[in-house]
Structure 1
Amino acid sequence: MQSILKQRVALSVFFFLSGFSFSSWASRIPTIKSILDLNEAELGSVLLAMPVSSLIGLPISGWLVSKFETRQPLAAGFLLNSFCLAAIAFATTTMSLVLVLFLYSLSMRIFNISMNTQAITLQKLSDKKINGSFHGLWSSGGIAGVGFTTLLVSFGVDIVPHLLIVASFCFLATVFTFKHLLRRDKSETGNKLELSKPDPYILYLGLLVFFAAVCEGGMFDWSGIYFQQVVGEEIFSLGYLVFMTFMALSRFISDRIVDRIGMPTTYIMSSVLIFSGITLAIVFPTFWPALIGFSLVGFGTASVIPMTYTLAGASPKYSPGIAISLVTTFGIVGMLIGPPMIGYLAHAFGLQQSFISFALAGIMLIPFSRLFFRMEKRLVAAKV
C-alpha cells in the first residue's frame, strides 16, 4: 500500500506540472501574438503545427508504451517538453515558433499517453476511482500556471525569464521524481495496433474526447484573447484563470459525481453546462456574464476526459496503453485543432461569433455518449 501511495504521489507531481507547463505557454499566447505581430488567421496557422505533430506522434507514442515501462517515455517526454517550453520564449520568427511548437506537441503526446496509462493502472491497483483526481491536479497545475503568469504580467516580467523559470523547475522535478513512478507495467497483450478498420468502442470514445477537447483547447488558447478583445479586460488572463479554477474544482469531485448519477447522465450534464456557459458569454460579452459563462464551461468539460479514459482502459480489444493512445489521439487533435479553427473563424466572422463552435461541440456530447452506451449494452448482452 505504501508503494502505491508513493507511486500515486509521484504521478500526481507529473499531472500537476503538466498543467502548469501547458498553461504557462497558453496564457502567454497573447504576448507571442503581439511580439510576432500575427493576426488571428496567422496565429491559427501557427497553432496548426501542434495537431499535425500529434498525429505523427500516434505510432511513436503507441510503440513506446507497448515496448517500455511507461515511466521511461513519461520522463523522456517531459524532459524534452521542458526544453521546448524554454525554446518558445526565444522564437523570434514564425517559422522558428512553428518548429518549436511541433516538438513541444510531440513531447506532450508522448508523456500524456504514459501518464494516463499509469493513472488507469494505479486506479485498478487501488480498486477505487482516482482518475478524476489526477486530472484535477492537471487543472490545478493549470490554475497555478496561469496565476503565476498573471502575477508576472501585472509586474511587467518578460516572457523569456518566465518560461525559463517554469522549464527549469519542470526539468528538475522530473529528475528527482522519476524513480518513484510505477514500474513493471508493460502490458503483454493487446499491444498490436490495427489501423485497417476503426473499432467502434474506441471510435465513439474518441469522438467524445474530441468534442470535449475542442472546447478545452479553444478555451486554453483563446479565453485570454476573448477577455482582452471582446470583454475589454486589461488583465487578459483572468478569464482563463476562472475557467481553469472551476474545471479543477469539478475534477476533484467528478469521481463522486459519477458514482452518484452514473456516466450516461454525467455526459448529458457536461454537455448542457458547456452549451449554456458559452452561450452566456457570447450573448452577454461583459465582465460578469462572461466570467460566469466561463466557469460553467469549466464545470462542463471537467468530467468528460477522465471518464472517457477510464472507459478506454476497459477496452475489450486493446491493452490500456494502446487504447488510451488511440483515444488520446482524438483528444489531442481536438484540443489542438480547436485553436486554429477559432483563429480562422475569428478572422472571417469575428472572435465573439467564432465561439459558437464551442457551444456546438459541447452539445455533440449527448448523441455520441448515447450511441456509446447503447453499443456497450449490446456488448455486455452478447457476453451473457
Structure 2
Amino acid sequence: MDGISKNNAAETSRSGFLTKSRAAVSLLFLVNGFAVGSWAPKIPEFAERLQLSKFELGLMILVFGLGSLLMMPLAGAQITGRGSKVVCKVMAVLLLPMLLILTVVQNVWTAAPAIFLFGGFIGAMDVAMNANAVAVEKSMRRAIMSSCHAFWSLGGLIGSAIGGYLISHWGVLGHAEVATVLSIVFLVIAWPMILSDQPHPDEEKPKAKLPMIPLPWLLGMMALFCMIPEGAVLDWGALYLRQDLSASVTLSGLGFAAFSLTMATMRFAGDFVRDKLGAVMTLRVCTAFAITGMVLASLAPNAELAILGFAFCGIGISNMVPIAFSAAGNVPGLQPGIGISVVTTMGYSGMLVAPSAIGFAAEHVGFSAVFLALPMLLLVVLCFSSLARYADSIGGGGH
C-alpha cells in the first residue's frame, strides 16, 4: 500500500490526464517558485536597507541556504508520520508572511533569523510538494514530476518578472503585499484539492532515520551533480559572457534567458517524453544534451554560440532532477518522504556550495575552464542512469 486514500485514487483514475490533485500540486510548485522569484528583485534593496557589504550579503544568502538544508530532513521525517498533504499546508501557510517580514526588518539581528526561516520554509515545502507529486504520480499511474517542476520555473519567472515593475512603481512594501496576496489566492485554490497520502491507521509508522541503503544516496549524488552545472549557468553565465566573451550587457543577459526558457519549455514536455521513452532513456538523452551544451558554451569563440550552448544545457538539465526526485520517491522499502528529503538536501547543497567554489576557481583558471570541467560531473550521472528505472515505478510501488 502507498498510503493514498481510495477516494483520491478513484478520483484520479476516473479523470485521466488532468485531475484536481494534479492541479493542486502544480499550484503548490507555482507558489514555492513564486516566493523565490519574488525574493530575487528585493535583494538589492534588502542589502541597502541593512547596509550589507557583498561579503555580508553572501553570508545572508548562506543563512537562507542553511535554513533550507536543516529543514529539509525534518520535513522528510514529518512526511513519513503525517503525510505530505499536512506538511505542504503547514509550510505553505508559514511561508506566506515571510516576504512581508523580510521587507520590514531593519537590522541584521532580526533579518538573519527571518531569512533563515524563509529558506527553511521554502526547503521544507519543497520536500513536501515533491513527495505529494510522487503520490499523485502513483495515483494517476503516469509521470507528472517534470511538469510540476515546470510550474516552479513558471512561478519563479512570474515572481521575478513582475517584482521589478512593482518595486519601482509601488515600492518594496507594496510589492510584498501584492506578492503575498497572489500567493494566498493560489494557495486557497489549491487547498481543498491537495491529495491526501496519510498512512493507514493499522500501518506501523517507521521511525524517522537516515536510510542505510545506498540507493537514495546515489540518487542524491545524481541530483547534486545535475544541480551544480545548473547553478553555474544561473549564477555565472552572464558574467562569463560579459567578461570572457566581451558581450554587451543586453546580450549577456540572454544566456540566462535562453537557459531558463528551454528549461521551462522542456519541463512541460518532459512528462510526455518520459511516458514515451521511459525514465532511463529520457535521462540519458537529457544528459547528452547537457554535456553538449556545456562543452559548446565553454569552447565558444563568441557570445552567440555560448548562448546557444546554454540553451542546450537548459534542454538537458530540465528533466534530470525531476527524474531523480521521482526515483527517490519510489525506492523499494523506503518511505517517499525520506528518500526525497535525502535527494533534495544533497541536490540543493550543490546549489549552496557550488557558486562560491566556482567563483574561486574561475578567478584562477577562468570561467571557460570551469565550464569545460563540469561535464565530468554529468558523465557520472550518465554512468548511474540505470537507477532512473525506479522513476518508472509510479504505477506500482517499486520493483
So what's the TM-score if we normalise by structure 1?
0.81
Partner of 1:177: 190
Quick check: 1:301 aligned with 2:317?
Answer: yes
Quick check: 1:325 aligned with 2:341?
Answer: yes
Counterpart-to-counterpart distance in 2, 1:189 and 1:232: 61
Counterpart-to-counterpart distance in 2, 1:303 and 1:151: 31
Partner of 1:379: none
* 2:87 pairs with one of 68, 73, 76: 73
Seen in structure 2, the aligned counterparts of structure 1 residues 236 and 168 have a Cα distance that, compared at 3 Å, is farther
- Is the CA contact (8 Å cut-off) linking 2:166 and 2:174 kept in structure 1? no
Partner of 1:123: 137
The count of aligned residue pairs is: 374
Quick check: 1:201 aligned with 2:201?
Answer: no
Structure 2 residue identity aligned to 1:325 = S
Quick check: 1:214 aligned with 2:241?
Answer: no
Q: CA deviation at 1:65?
A: 0.8
Q: CA deviation at 1:362?
A: 3.1
Q: Deviations over 1:255-274 (max 9, x none)?
A: 23233433333333322322
SS at match of 1:185: coil
Counterpart-to-counterpart distance in 2, 1:115 and 1:255: 17
- Is the CA contact (8 Å cut-off) linking 1:82 and 1:167 kept in structure 2? yes
Structure 1, 288-297 or 116-125: larger mean CA deviation? 288-297
Counterpart-to-counterpart distance in 1, 2:381 and 2:32: 26
Q: CA deviation at 1:343?
A: 4.2
Q: Which 5+ residue runs of structure 2 have no aligned equivalent?
A: 1-9, 392-397
Counterpart-to-counterpart distance in 2, 1:157 and 1:239: 29
* 1:145 pairs with one of 143, 147, 159: 159
Counterpart-to-counterpart distance in 2, 1:275 and 1:206: 19
- Is the CA contact (8 Å cut-off) linking 2:73 and 2:342 kept in structure 1? no
Partner of 1:109: 123
- Is the CA contact (8 Å cut-off) linking 1:43 and 1:343 kept in structure 2? no
- Is the CA contact (8 Å cut-off) linking 1:45 and 1:340 kept in structure 2? no
Structure 2 residue identity aligned to 1:132 = S
Counterpart-to-counterpart distance in 2, 1:193 and 1:28: 37
Seen in structure 2, the aligned counterparts of structure 1 residues 50 and 220 have a Cα distance that, compared at 3 Å, is farther
RMSD of aligned alpha carbons: 3.6
Q: CA deviation at 1:181?
A: 1.1
Structure 1 residue identity aligned to 2:86 = Q
Q: Which 5+ residue runs of structure 1 have no aligned equivalent?
A: 377-382
- Is the CA contact (8 Å cut-off) linking 1:44 and 1:340 kept in structure 2? no
Structure 1 residue identity aligned to 2:261 = T
Q: CA deviation at 1:209?
A: 1.0
Give the share of equivalent positions with the same residue, in percent: 26
* 2:100 pairs with one of 75, 86, 94: 86
Counterpart-to-counterpart distance in 1, 2:139 and 2:313: 32
Seen in structure 2, the aligned counterparts of structure 1 residues 18 and 152 have a Cα distance that, compared at 3 Å, is same
* 2:327 pairs with one of 311, 322, 333: 311
Q: CA deviation at 1:61?
A: 0.7
Q: CA deviation at 1:60?
A: 1.7
Q: CA deviation at 1:38?
A: 4.0
Counterpart-to-counterpart distance in 2, 1:55 and 1:312: 17
Q: CA deviation at 1:158?
A: 5.4
